A and B are shown apart, each in its own frame.
Chain A
Amino acid sequence: MTPRTLLMAGAISIGTVAPALAQDTVTLQFWEGHSVQEEAATIEMIKAFEDSHPNIKINRTKVSFGTNFEKITTAVASNTLPDVSPIWGGFLTQFAASGQLLDLRQYGVEDMQEGIYPGAWSFGEWQGGVYGVPYAFDARFIAYNKQAFEEAGIAQPPQTYDELYADAEKLTKKNGNTVEQYGLGIGGADALVNFYVNLLYSFGGKIFNDDETQLAIDSDAGIKAAEYLSKLAESGYVSYGGSTGDDLRNSVITGRVAMIHDGPWIFYAEQQANADHPVAVAPMPVVKQGEKSVNFGSVGAYVVYKSSQHPKEAAEFVKFMGSPEAQQYRVKLLKTGVATNVSEQPVAIETYKEWPELKTAQEALNGSQIFPTSAKWPRAFQIILPAAEAIMEGDDPQSTVESAVRQASRQLRR
């Protein structure tokens, strides 16, 4: 062993032991791996936390989690976890079920529930316990190019799904084999599932049956959603695919695609492109005029690991990160906040002056539904994605979802 490695090994053990010795200040190990936009917000949130909690220091480590959380999963296997990290997808439930996460109710976290959107809050719950506090909640909506709508003579964004289809038709411009402007853009892979699930929710369907043993996407509503997706796919008005949401965002900014299904990332993309607010946003359409708009939202939550030496301080930290005072910095960086009254915070009010559309996006979070929190969700996702892709390729929607459900009955049993 070289002196250097000895030193580093020493540094690791000191990092975890020393705070226990020093009673007055506690240092929390916090892993995060956000985009430049999110990171800037996180840094401000941490600073605000440290200012108001002088006895707690946050040691922020930038971690590339790997697409599927490999970094955390392997750290569990060897018990080298930090105190706090973000978690997303179906992992929270699996981690909680395996006893890796701290139930935060013992630190009074349930007091926060009222101030947080129900969709986001439910993400952290598992079997009566609260294992995560949401820090990010991104609703999907329709983002559209205002000029494209004007040119096509469309006065307002589509209110119903029938209007969405009709508008997509009007907004598509072709020149021989080249499509110069697509009416609607749907991303590939995850973005396609987001769109399909949003349709499913809008049509009144659900992903799982009540006891989460079986997929329920072959319900009447599910088949209608699949048929609608199929109709879009066959229309020729849709730009589909590409693994990058950024591509679609830039397309709607430049007007190459007239509208897309996207979340608050669109604002950051606009800012990066130095564009003069060419994009407006609107809630998801409804099936019948007068219904309440339903949109899909994705959640990220911070969790405290059971192995933490400072559970109380860690709980304090994650609670703060979900509070309106902290969340206003996410608004400043053009994201939406998980706290219901974040829009009343001074920083947010200031930001809305330049970005009024951001407020529309924030309001979309009010009835936003999320992916199922079931531990079976990752497996279900891997069945739903190929099914949605098959529909986009022209397979019969009804038989595709039915065969997906059959396949799931095998897979979900494992």
Chain B
Amino acid sequence: MASTIKRQQLQIRLIFLGIPLAWLVVFVVSPIFLIFYLSFTDYNILSPAQMIGTLNYEDLWFDSLFWKATWNTFFYTVVSVPLGIVFSLLLAVLVNRRLPGAALYRSIFYIPVVTPLVAVSVVWILIYQTSNGLANYVLSWINVPPQQWLTSSTLAMPSIIVMSIWKGLGFNMVIFLAALQAIPRELHEAAWVDGAGRFRSFFSITLPLLRPAMIYVVVTSIISSFQVFTQVFVMTEGGPNNATVTLVHLIYRTAFLNLDMGYASAMAMLLFVLLVATSLTSFWLMSRNNYYA
């Protein structure tokens, strides 16, 4: 009996892990190795790649635009991830009710997520227009002069962050909602009977039980913020004055506009290292001493 279970467990580990992992190796890991290789070459896509050693990495070190993009990406992440998480958790708690109409509100909050990012970016461009845009029109009611939402280097990044948070709230809200639904109500009930207030019960019961979902949301939010691209690409193309150039936008531009795939690969490898370090650290910080990690 025990040996059957052992054998079955071994089989299931091999098959269940083997197939998806083989898939990952073929379609994700092998391209990553190719990118790693290309990062040591001069490759313009149109002609064969040539080995140039670590020259790409040396150039990166002195490339002020690369560091600016790194800083912008960092800024974007540090602002948008915490705000996004707090707001989406609040939303999830808000709509985690069995009240008539709650489902409708959940759907409304989720709609921005399902609308294609390119289309949404276009609408926000029109809203942010300086002379004809809605945002400035609304401001003019309270006699505020027109703002250069996407064309001033101080406002452009915050404008993109606002739009990104709006777009992503529903996504994390659903994850938190699924996790909140999994918390048995008798736990809250018990706390309530014990005289714990709503906030107490939220911080001492809900939040700890949300930990697995929280780890997922924090780590994936960091990873995807570090890779922010489409909004920047559609709304500002990195401008004005490179105020919104992010790492992936720079990588994309370097690869497909400058046709400098080798250099773009080197940037991608550095981004990779940066992400591995950041996400593993956050993962480790959050899952210390915890069974659920």
Select which of A98, A178, A251, A385 is within 8 A of B46 by beta carbon: A98
CB closest chain-A residue, reference B143 = A177
B258/A241 in contact, CB under 8 A: no
A379/B258 in contact, CB under 8 A: yes
What is the CA–CA distance of A411 and B253 in the complex, to the nearest angstrom? Answer: 14
Select which of A68, A95, A98, A257 is within 8 A of B131 by beta carbon: A257
- CB neighbours (8 Å) of B129 from chain A are 241-242, 247
Min Cβ gap B40→A in Å is: 15
- Name A66-84 residues within 8 Å CB distance of B: 66-70, 73-74, 76-77
Select which of A69, A98, A100 is within 8 A of B256 by beta carbon: A69
A239/B130 in contact, CB under 8 A: yes
A389/B132 in contact, CB under 8 A: no
CB closest chain-A residue, reference B259 = A94
Please classify how large the interface on chain B is, using the bins under 10, 10 to 19, 20 to 34, 35 or more: 35 or more
- 0/1 per residue, A102-145, Cβ < 8 Å to B? 00000000000000000000000000000000000000000000
B132/A386 in contact, CB under 8 A: no
Is A410 close to B, CB under 8 A?
Answer: yes
B contacts with A: majority SS: loop
Min Cβ gap B148→A in Å is: 6
- Name B257-288 residues within 8 Å CB distance of A: 257-260, 263
Is B144 close to A, CB under 8 A?
Answer: yes
- Name B220-262 residues within 8 Å CB distance of A: 233-237, 239-242, 252-253, 256-260
- CB neighbours (8 Å) of A392 from chain B are 151, 240
Among B44, B144, B150, B258, max chain A CB count under 10 A is at B258
Is B45 close to A, CB under 8 A?
Answer: yes
- 0/1 per residue, B46-62, Cβ < 8 Å to A? 11000000000001001
Min Cβ gap B139→A in Å is: 9
A414/B260 in contact, CB under 8 A: yes
Is A189 close to B, CB under 8 A?
Answer: yes
- 0/1 per residue, A378-414, Cβ < 8 Å to B? 1100100111011011010000000000010011001
30 contacts between A and B (CB under 8 A): A66-B256, A68-B256, A70-B256, A73-B46, A73-B256, A76-B46, A77-B45, A99-B47, A177-B140, A177-B143, A177-B144, A177-B146, A178-B140, A240-B130, A241-B129, A242-B125, A242-B151, A243-B236, A244-B126, A247-B129, A257-B131, A386-B241, A386-B242, A389-B240, A390-B153, A393-B148, A393-B152, A407-B64, A410-B62, A410-B63
If A98-B44, A393-B148 are given as contacts, then 6 extra A-B residue pairs at C-beta distance below 8 Å, sorted by A number, are A73-B256, A177-B140, A242-B129, A243-B150, A386-B239, A389-B153
- Smallest CB-CB A-B distances: 7 pairs: A98-B46, A241-B151, A389-B240, A239-B131, A68-B256, A390-B241, A177-B145
